[in-house]
Amino acid sequence: MRIALKVGSIIYPLAGEAGVDERTHSSAAGFEITGQSAVQIDAYLRGAYAKPIDRGNLLQVLSFTTTRQFTSPALAQLWALDYAANFPSSGTLYLDAISPGGVVTRRILADAVVDPPVRRTIGATALCTYQVRGSRISAQTFTGNMVLSGHSFASVNGVYALTGTQSGKAFYVKDLHIIMWVTQSGGYWGLSPTGGTWSARSASNVATPDLATGWFRPDTLAAVPSLSIVPEEA
């Protein structure tokens, strides 16, 4: 399960990230939900038993663990030290369950408050234990389109409409720009800002491009870590 906190238009990944491999940032492990109802206890004079009354106001308490891998122990330690300055503590929690076929099913925890996680570093790895409190858990639906961001050309960023399939996988279009699965060279997801020349590729053989990792520029083979593709919310 991938878990993230949305504050305004910004999404802060807490456990797992679309397009990021599990070694670098793992999905939630040891996921647990504890429900707490507000209860009023009515005691009766000379009564044999007290009567609990459900006052509603259900509180959901979620806990989970995750790991983040850095390139050096120093970076892991600094990330742990700076966590409270870089991550907000309240917003809307996104909980994304990923099927074996890559289909994302989302639940939302409204009015979530995230305690700063317990952080422990082992070498270049940061281990985090989170606790989140919130209210109602509800379903989230998607349009089927994809939202791309982080490309150096602003015109490439935006909503890519699902327009059918190509080579057995979904095909997305925005103006003259496309995201599609290409079967040549062993198969890859390709992003074209011109309709002809690929500006980014990923060799991940997954159902949709938001699950793809390792995006790189074909001309230089340089990684494109800023590229983000996520499902559009309905």
Q: Which domains does the chain have, with CATH numbers?
A: 2-140 (2.40.30), 142-233 (no CATH)
What is the radius of gyration, based on Cα positions, of the chain?
22
Instruction: Give the model's pLDDT for residue 73.
Output: 98
Each residue's pLDDT, cut to its tens digit, for the chain (234 residues) gives: 999 999 987 889 999 987 788 999 999 999 999 988 888 888 888 888 888 888 878 889 999 999 999 999 999 999 999 999 999 999 999 999 988 767 788 899 989 999 999 999 999 999 999 999 998 899 877 888 999 998 888 889 999 999 999 899 999 999 989 999 999 989 999 998 766 778 899 999 988 998 888 899 998 899 988 888 988 887
**Residue 231 belongs to what H/E stretch?**
strand 228-233
pTM, to two decimals: 0.66
Q: Are 33 and 134 in contact (CB under 8 A)?
A: no
State the sign of the Cα–Cα–Cα–Cα dihedral 194, 196, 200, 202. Answer: positive
